[in-house]
Amino acid sequence: MTAATLLFVPQGADQPWRWWRFRDGADVVDEGEGMPPPDGDADASAPVVAVAPADAVTLHWAAIPARSAAQAAAAARIVVSDATATPADLHVAVGEPRAGVDAEERAIAVVAPERMAAWLAEMNARGVDPVAVVPAPLLLPEPEEGWLRGDVAGQAVIRGRSAGFADEARLTELIVGDAEPVLLARDEVWRAAASAASAWPLDLRQGPFARRTRRSIDWALVRRLGLLVAMILLATLAIDLVRIARYSIGADAMEARADAIARQGLPRGSGEGDSARMLGERLSRLRGPGSGFSRTAAAVYQIVQAVPDSEVTALDFQPNGALRVSLSVAGEGQANTVKTQLERAGFTVTSGVFQQAGGRLSGDLTVAP
């Protein structure tokens, strides 16, 4: 069961609000004055459509091609600008395109913005937020030709194919001329109003007066987004796991290759064990203890060659890593220089007894790590 309520804005402050309630889209099941009471048999979300007084809204019809709402409103403002002295101070609303051969012709409604704001403020103060505001003449059916007259909640309204206004004696005579408007019966007005309540031909709630709707949370979309995020996280985790596995496999392969290369430097029959440790032990045995013979001898020769009138006469590498160096120098100064330079190179130097023979000094230095 569908329901809708038409709420009629009074023409003056001394007149009451009126309302019609429809059910199943055709029959008026209730009507009254004031604000409409809750309908216990209808859905709580049943729409309330406000009806603006015919004498407060000016209607025009013009051909406006299909375009965006903003472009259509701008074009409509240009159309009505010739009919009013202050078009910028008016609220202009555009209706839906007319069906049939005049597919580009639309209804244009013009109303003072302060009146529109006052209507909405009063309805909001009474707890009503209408889904649309429809001019009263548009509740009557659109005639194929001629004019129709109807009583819309106490307001006498005239409707033509491209006109709609309040029924006032002199105004009506000037517009319709010799044509006699056809008077609609009450049930005919109700049926037309019920149709307009479900699919209004023009809504004044446009632009700054558009109804603000609350956006509900689409939980199905939230669940889909959550599932998508979870899949992305799982894919990222899987990529990291694959990368870690590849690095681990690569590290194992490099370790196995290094072990194989290290074993090539070991003598045959070395047996199983840590090849790096075994290779280090062999290297230590080959080079000797301490810093090794090669490094110690190289340092000694480099320093001796840098000291004039100095030469090495003998070398003796000890099992404890110390190197015994026999020197022949021109004097005590050269011997002290060699000792000092070796100590600066990081060695511990112990000097023996130097003796004079043939104009030169000869003696031993013990160079240890």
Does the predicted TM-score (pTM) go above 0.75?
no
User: Per the domain annotation, does 262 fall within a domain?
Assistant: no
User: Per the domain annotation, does 103 fall within a domain?
Assistant: yes
- C-beta separation of 368 from 347 below 8 A: yes
Same domain, 174 and 295: no
Same domain, 157 and 306: no
Most confident range (mean pLDDT) of 8-22, 86-100, 184-198, 233-247 is 233-247
Same domain, 195 and 91: yes
pLDDT at res. 121:
93
Mean pLDDT of 358-368: 87
User: Per the domain annotation, does 55 fall within a domain?
Assistant: yes
pLDDT at res. 246:
92
- C-beta separation of 68 from 74 below 8 A: no
Band of pLDDT at residue 236, cut at 50, 70 and 90: very high
CATH number for the domain that contains residue 91: 3.30.420.380
Same domain, 178 and 311: no
Most confident range (mean pLDDT) of 13-22, 41-50, 289-298 is 13-22
pLDDT at res. 9:
93
Report the mean per-residue pLDDT for the chain: 84
- C-beta separation of 59 from 135 below 8 A: yes
pLDDT at res. 1:
43
Band of pLDDT at residue 40, cut at 50, 70 and 90: low
Which domain covers residue 17, as residue numbers? 3-209
User: Per the domain annotation, does 45 fall within a domain?
Assistant: yes
Which tens digit of pLDDT belongs to each residue from 168-225? 888 888 888 888 899 999 888 988 888 888 888 899 999 889 887 666 778 888 999 9
Rounded Cα–Cα distance for residues 50 and 119 (Å): 9
The pLDDT of residue 270 is above 70: no
Structure tokens at 327: 């020197």
Domain count of the fold of the chain:
2
How far is it between the farthest Cα atoms of the chain?
157
Most confident range (mean pLDDT) of 146-155, 290-299, 318-327 is 146-155
pLDDT at res. 103:
60
